[in-house]
Amino acid sequence: MTYVGIVLISHSPKIAEGAKELIEQVVKNVPVAAAGGTETNEIGTNVEKIIAAIDQVYNGAGVILFYDLGSAMMNAELAIELMGKDNIKIAENVPIVEGAYVGAVESGMGHDIEQILESLGKSFKK
């Protein structure tokens, strides 16, 4: 079975890697990649890191991008545009750790990308 991939985009490399480690402790079969920090691992985000993370987990089931702050979302949008691949979505207004955890669990249950996004919208509705 092919599972929806998860990409964690954070301004902090430690946050992205920590969330990835947490998810991988619980969900073993879902592809997860971290894209934290700048190209020199300082605080910030980097489009090239995001693209590399998407490439790492991309498959026919798609990829959901989770981010921590607004500028990370802008770089996520740019990465999607530059890649030109289908089925890559951003989880908007969803907390990065809790949202990615729920998304990974649902992916591991075999839910498709739209089902996962719908569930995230209901779970983290403002």
Q: Which residues belong to the active site?
A: 11
Residues in the chain: 126
Sheet holding 32-36, edge to edge: 32-36, 5-10, 63-67, 88-90
Nearest to 104 by CA among 3, 12, 21: 3
Token couple for 85: 């691949």
* Cβ proximity of 120 and 91 under 8 Å: yes
Separation between Cα atoms, residue 76 and residue 56, nearest integer Å: 15
* Closest by CA position to 83, among listed 114, 104, 52, 119: 52
